[in-house]
Amino acid sequence: DGENILALPESAMRRVRGGGMAMIFQEPMLALNPVIKVGEQIAEVLGLHQGLRGQQMTDAARALLDAVGVPDAARRLDGYPFELSGGLRQRVMIAMALAGQPKLLIADEPTTALDVTMQAQVLDVLRTLRAERRMGMLLITHDLGVVAENADRVGVMYAGELVEEGARANFFATPQHPYSRMLFDALPRPGDGGRLTTIPGQVPRLDTTLQGCRFAPRCPFAIARCRLESPQWQTINGQQVRCHLAGSLPPRAAHVAGAQTISAPVTQALLQVDGLKVYFPIRRGLIQRTVGFVRAVDDVSLSIPAGRTLALVGESGCGKTTVGKALLRLIEPTAGSVALEGETLGAHNVPTLRRQMQMVFQDPFSSLNPRMRVADILLEGMDALRIGVASARRDAVAQLLRQVGLPDDAGGRYPHAFSGGQRQRIAIARALAVAPRLLICDEPTSALDVSVQAQILNLLKDLQDQLGLAYLFITHNLAVVDYLAHAVAVMYLGRIVEHGSAADVLGTPRHPYTQALVSAVPRIEPHSGQRIIRLAGDQPSPLNPPAGCHFHPRCPHASKVCRQTYPGQTDLGDGHWVRCHWVATQV
């Protein structure tokens, strides 16, 4: 409103925070107080900024939860944040932000930690509230699909500076800054199995003196002036851009799909999983009597040939990560069998077979020991499994670092000295140290921006081509699945509901749940008439799954038989099958 808030004293800023502007954060579980009830946290903001008390405050808090789409709002007021799903926690965070009736809402990566269906629901809520309350919104994100579907104007930031700003339509049609262009080029594209374009180098450290254009060391078009003189704003076709070469860059080359890698013929399964179940007992009372089970994984069967990638996709909480951990016996399976090259994994041969299967975790910083140097991290697995002699292991460290694209001196440094993408490379090198046949990759790119994601995906594809590795790729990013996977298994509430080649499952999804997942993916191109499907509600609890088909409470095609009987497998040909009564009636 024309007021310089940077000049305001702290007492005045307290009124602005929450009242004039409010913020929702990337990880609501960290932003919400875990030991204070949801209603009390919203009431605190209502009392501070609207002066409400007593029943008025309670009614207003309930109305806010209703407005952001929290079901059974009156009951949720007396609950704690840990009792809510990720999507509901983010909605509570939005309700708290709205309690101060702000004119501007700052949304900092509000959907990065959510799966595609929860992301779609939260973004729908934000769009509706923005229109109803005539509220400005600053959306901070690295997902260009989210930008394309939600922004009116776009600003691109690099190394602490805005480098481009303009209307959404102009920006997506003709990005002007070299950095903006390279972000678009790094995106995985449907049906394209070629190498992804990456941005060389790293973002410069902001605690050093920077001269000239900050992007110049990584820019393929840079000239001598770029390295000496900081560029000023220019207007090109209605867009503001900070670049010496603005308006004179060569036209963007039309995207040509890269050649698909010719995979070896599919042979017998390297990994064969049959009837895998993982039930967690629920114990209560003084003697901790078992009163029930959480059916995290319920009768999952799958196979992966050597040199191939199976993507396991589904909403958060569906059991994907539990499957990965159970394969390695990091979690003890309740039932079922896991065989690697025909040899069943059991208590007697866990060390031997675990060498052949390794895991790459979602957050490399949490999975790497911060007190160990990188070389020691890579040696740890080789030492534990007694691979080769000590001198050969040390030589192998240098080879591993080169193999994942890290400098030779990286072995002497600690994990905190590396960027997120480099730490993920270290995690991959650690997994490769024992020469496995299968990598279980659990959301390895979900926390990375598009340029670093492209580097990791290229690396994984190169390693598969060079070493013949098989991957179980656990993710909810369907664009990554389309780029990397040969086959896809869709999981819902502990069970696989659709399976087939990536082209079949993503191109012509048949199960209503898969259709909703594909529909919910934000796209930088228009949806081209594709029907948008929004799932109602949250995934039911695996403690008490619905009778019949587990998906029927959220399915638009549910019938009486769906509520009574779990569907059998319907074969659609070429290895494509679903578990759905509705599809079975159409075949």
> Are 315 and 451 within one domain?
yes
Please state, in angstroms and rounded to a whole number, the distance separating the CA atoms of residues 21 and 67: 19
Chain segment 126-173, per-residue pLDDT in tens: 999 999 999 999 999 999 999 999 999 999 999 999 999 999 999 999
CA angle 160, 166, 170 (to 5 degrees): 130
Q: Is residue 406 part of a domain?
A: no
Residue 317 has pLDDT above 60, yes or no: yes
Residue 184 has pLDDT above 70, yes or no: yes
Please state, in angstroms and rounded to a whole number, the distance separating the CA atoms of residues 121 and 315: 13
> Are 539 and 484 within one domain?
yes
For the record, the structure tokens of 453 come out as 């994601």
pTM of the model: 0.86
Q: What is the mean pLDDT of residues 174-185?
A: 95
> Are 235 and 309 within one domain?
no
What does the pLDDT read at residue 528? 56
Please state, in angstroms and rounded to a whole number, the distance separating the CA atoms of residues 66 and 125: 11
Q: Is residue 107 part of a domain?
A: yes
Residue 263 has pLDDT above 50, yes or no: no
Non-local (6+) Cβ contacts of 581 within 8 A are: 549, 559, 561, 562, 565, 567
Please state, in angstroms and rounded to a whole number, the distance separating the CA atoms of residues 166 and 204: 25
Is residue 259 very low, low, confident or very high in pLDDT (cuts 50, 70, 90)?
very low
CA angle 23, 27, 31 (to 5 degrees): 60
Among residues 387, 326, 336, 318, the alpha carbon closest in space to that of 357 is found at 326
Residue 545 has pLDDT above 70, yes or no: yes
Domain boundary among the residues 109, 141, 173 is at: 141
Is residue 261 very low, low, confident or very high in pLDDT (cuts 50, 70, 90)?
very low
What does the pLDDT read at residue 79? 92
Domain interval for residue 53: 12-141
Percent of the chain with pLDDT over 90: 62
> Are 172 and 78 within one domain?
no
Q: Is residue 253 part of a domain?
A: no
Chain segment 208-236, per-residue pLDDT in tens: 889 999 999 999 999 999 999 999 999 99
Q: Which parts of 136-188 fold into alpha helices (H)? A: 144-150, 168-173, 178-185
> Are 128 and 189 within one domain?
no
> Are 478 and 541 within one domain?
yes
Among residues 478, 447, 472, 450, the alpha carbon closest in space to that of 460 is found at 472
Q: Is residue 149 part of a domain?
A: no
What does the pLDDT read at residue 384? 85
> Are 25 and 169 within one domain?
no
What rounded mean pLDDT belongs to the chain? 90
Q: Is residue 441 part of a domain?
A: yes
Residue 523 has pLDDT above 90, yes or no: no
Residue pair 329/505 in contact by the 8 Å Cβ criterion: no
Is residue 266 very low, low, confident or very high in pLDDT (cuts 50, 70, 90)?
low
What does the pLDDT read at residue 527? 56
Q: Output the domain CATH number for residue 64.
A: 3.40.50.300
| Beta strands at 576-578 and 495-501: parallel, antiparallel or unpaired | antiparallel
- Give the Å distances, CA to CA, from 558 to 315, 554, 555, 567: 20, 8, 5, 12
What does the pLDDT read at residue 264? 45
Distance in Å from the first CA to the final CA of the chain: 60
Q: Is residue 279 part of a domain?
A: yes
Type of residue at 440:
I
Domain boundary among the residues 79, 106, 141 is at: 141
- Sheet strand arrangement including 136-140: 21-24, 104-108, 136-140
For the record, the structure tokens of 551 come out as 């998906």
Domain boundary among the residues 120, 141, 162 is at: 141
Q: Is residue 371 part of a domain?
A: no
Residue 569 has pLDDT above 90, yes or no: yes
Among residues 574, 558, 538, the alpha carbon closest in space to that of 114 is found at 538
> Are 211 and 340 within one domain?
no
Is residue 112 very low, low, confident or very high in pLDDT (cuts 50, 70, 90)?
confident
Chain segment 74-89, per-residue pLDDT in tens: 989 999 998 887 788 8
What does the pLDDT read at residue 252? 77
Residue pair 365/423 in contact by the 8 Å Cβ criterion: yes
What does the pLDDT read at residue 477? 87
Q: What is the mean pLDDT of residues 540-545?
A: 87
> Are 120 and 170 within one domain?
no
Q: Which of 308-317, 325-334, 344-353, 525-534 has the lowest mean pLDDT?
A: 525-534
Structural domains in the chain (count):
3
> Are 278 and 231 within one domain?
no
Chain segment 450-505, per-residue pLDDT in tens: 888 899 999 999 999 999 999 999 998 898 999 999 999 999 999 999 999 999 99
Specify the higher pLDDT residue, 503 or 534. Answer: 503
Is residue 118 very low, low, confident or very high in pLDDT (cuts 50, 70, 90)?
confident
> Are 567 and 503 within one domain?
yes
Give the burial class of 560: count Cβ atoms within 10 A of its Cβ; 0-12 exposed, 13-18 middle, 19 or more buried: exposed
Mapped to the 3 state alphabet, what secondary structure does 281-306 carry? Answer: EEEECCCCEEEEEEEEEEEEEEEEEC
What does the pLDDT read at residue 246? 92
Is residue 255 very low, low, confident or very high in pLDDT (cuts 50, 70, 90)?
low
What does the pLDDT read at residue 262? 42
Among residues 154, 177, 278, 294, the alpha carbon closest in space to that of 234 is found at 177
For the record, the structure tokens of 150 come out as 């939600």
Q: What is the mean pLDDT of residues 40-69?
A: 93
Q: Is residue 255 part of a domain?
A: no
> Are 281 and 348 within one domain?
yes
